Structure 1
Amino acid sequence: MNEPLRWGIIGTGGIARRFATDLAQSRTGRLAGVASRSEDKARLFAAEFPGVRAHRSYERLLSDAGIDAVYVATPHSEHLVCTLEAVAAGKHVLCEKPLALNRRDALTMVEAARSQGVLLMEALMYRCHPQAARLVQQVRSGDIGELVLIESSFCDAFPFDPTHRAYNRQLGGGAILDLGIYPASLARLLAGAAAHTAGAEPTRLRGAGRLNPVTAVDEHSAATALFPNGIVAELACGFLVTTDATARIHGTHGWIEVPHPFLPGRVGGAARLIVHHRDASQPEVEILSAAKGLYCLEADAFGDALRAGLTEVPAVPHTDTLGTLALLDAWRAEVGVSYDADTPRV
């Protein structure tokens, strides 16, 4: 399939608009349609992108023969149903993170996609920037010695609003799913790189956190995970404060600083890795450039996998998505955060 991939977007929020804007740079696809449960919202969104069809329901977009793939940009609680409906309609799916509220639901989605023979990817755009591949290469090479400690957090102050999805338990709110997925996925990626595998599963995890007294979602928490070979990851996320998001990856011979691990180059472009060797007087600064925005890189990684006839996108394979959600399930259990979806359906 070498024709441009015709994308449809489900949802009209801020992240959907960023994806649509970056998609204009894509070499593999173009935006063809957008859907909202509000016809006015769909039309207003489509008006910003000439030639894009507006659909007044998700079902209408999924029945549009001129759509090959959909980007699911709805609240977390809707990812499962939207993805399963898209897969049943024969559409390839790029679903915003987290793929689901828990590992069990994510596995249902993965199995459905495999059964239908369509491509499914969790949208972790930082994995598609050259920075992620370079970090894996450095850890595997032993450049900083044996990996010992991973420090990673994502805390971004967000005023309490009980109506916003981030604080709404019914919509899958809470910082662990919204922000904690980033440091958790990075820790699994790098612990796996040290073992020359695609990802690693923690053998033990302990966590603590603070729940919002009104909506009972986590608004700040931390976790410590122990991986095989004694690798420790210290993770944190929250809505109460904004912290230095720099990740620090420590080995026996040095360490790597990653100033913007989850927004490399901030909006695409150049990212910096700062490598400190114990026997060097000055750190090495490596510049990793990408000419396009993060969401464009993500869309093209998806498009390239589809053109190659792959069943998964190498940057975010299904095992990685499932492993990270298992870690997040454990983290939420430690903090005391649960959703209705966590109760097994009969």
Structure 2
Amino acid sequence: MTRDTVRWGILATGGIAAAFTADLIDLPDAEVVAVASRTETAAKAFAERFGIPRAYGDWAALADDEDVDVVYVATPHAAHRTAAGLCLEAGRGVLCEKPFTLNVREAGELVDLARDRGRFLMEAMWMYCNPLIRRLKALVEDGAIGEVRTVQADFGLEGPFPPSHRLRDPVQGGGALLDLGVYPVSFAHLLLGEPDGVAAQAVVSAEGVDLQTAAALSWDSGALAALHCSVVGGTGTSASVTGSRGRIDIPNGFFHPDHFVLHRAGRDPEKFAADPADGPRSTMRHEALEVMRAVRAGETESPLVPLDGTLAVMRTLDAVRDRIGVRYPGES
């Protein structure tokens, strides 16, 4: 690209799409030029809310809009494969919400398509783009706590959610694991890479989705991860990583923290706080900035959220679902 401004399309009009669009319009080098929904009424209402010039009542029209550089796919995750694939086929770059797809087979299809077409593709794992999480990762890689021994992380919502809610709907890929567990799993992957062993237990609903899941991941290095997710109980969303010479604790909201604490023997605890200049902890602006940096540089994927890493996370999620016996319609 020779332009500084990156032109965005928004595919879907739910809460996450609204939150991301609100962050986008505050960035001087981002322009939201189009939005699409399954109905023109929903698309027009969203367009009016955010001052977007074009609104489409079908996804294909957005995918075919040649004024769009990148499409943010914010549909329920059961539709990610179809929506992102449609945009990649039409020549658009794609930022696709997490979980990337329902399973690694679908994820591999999207990655192959993007690489074949030479188009940008990235999972919207905003945690990986967060400046404080990047600082934590750098400390671990620099040996601040020695060799990583254990990772712990949890993410749970109190609910209750009725059987008709998307979180309990198998057709929409419901369940705690894909919607919430993707964060603890991705956190463990960020620090240790893909595990060598996976064990899991879950409470499965009458509809066939997991209400809460506990996973134990293991690595040949001797490292372990204890991870938990739930849609039947609100947890502290805390995380910690323990090494041979210290520990880092994120006391709450680990995937978008306002601070973390480094503990090392013989030293006072060190608090690392988010820089106020980076914006509110809930912002998704950092992943948008990374997408725009990569697109302007002519890159087809981000080094912060590499596609091979996304595939590895999907393999782990598949392995956990295999252990707990959760299958979605259409899966073998």
TM range (shorter): over 0.9
Matches of 2:39 and 2:308 in 1, distance apart? 35
Task: Give the structure 2 partner of residue 278 of structure 1.
Answer: 265
Shift of 1:3: 3.3
Matches of 1:279 and 1:228 in 2, distance apart? 30
Matches of 2:80 and 2:214 in 1, distance apart? 25
Residues 1:178 and 2:194 aligned together: no
| 1:1-346 matched pairs, under 5 angstroms | 1=1, 2-191=3-192, 200-213=193-206, 215-259=207-251, 260-264=253-257, 271-280=258-267, 282-289=268-275, 290-292=277-279, 294-343=283-332
Matches of 1:39 and 1:33 in 2, distance apart? 12
Q: Is this contact kept in 2: 1:144–1:277, CA < 8 A? A: yes
Shift of 1:339: 1.3
SS of the residue corresponding to residue 255 of structure 2 reads coil
Letter in 1 for 2:236: D
Q: Is this contact kept in 1: 2:38–2:57, CA < 8 A? A: yes
SS of the residue corresponding to residue 159 of structure 1 reads coil
Q: Is this contact kept in 2: 1:255–1:275, CA < 8 A? A: yes
Matches of 1:340 and 1:28 in 2, distance apart? 41
Matches of 1:167 and 1:101 in 2, distance apart? 14
- How many residue pairs match? The answer is 327
Relative to structure 1, the CA distance from residue 30 to residue 292 in structure 2 (aligned partners, 3 Å threshold; closer, same or farther) is farther
Letter in 1 for 2:279: K
Cα deviation code 1:134-178 (max 9, x no counterpart):
121111111112211100111112222222211110111111000
Which stretch shifts more, 106-115 or 290-299? 290-299
Shift of 1:25: 2.0
Matches of 1:204 and 1:88 in 2, distance apart? 36
Letter in 1 for 2:92: K
In structure 1, stretches of 5+ residues that fail to align are 192-199, 265-270
Shift of 1:341: 4.2
Using the aligned pairs only, state the percent identity: 39
Q: Considering only aligned residues, what root-mean-square deviation do their CA atoms show, in Å? A: 1.3
Letter in 1 for 2:322: A
Matches of 2:14 and 2:126 in 1, distance apart? 17
Q: TM-score, normalised by structure 2?
A: 0.95
Matches of 1:234 and 1:79 in 2, distance apart? 28
Q: Is this contact kept in 1: 2:4–2:296, CA < 8 A? A: no
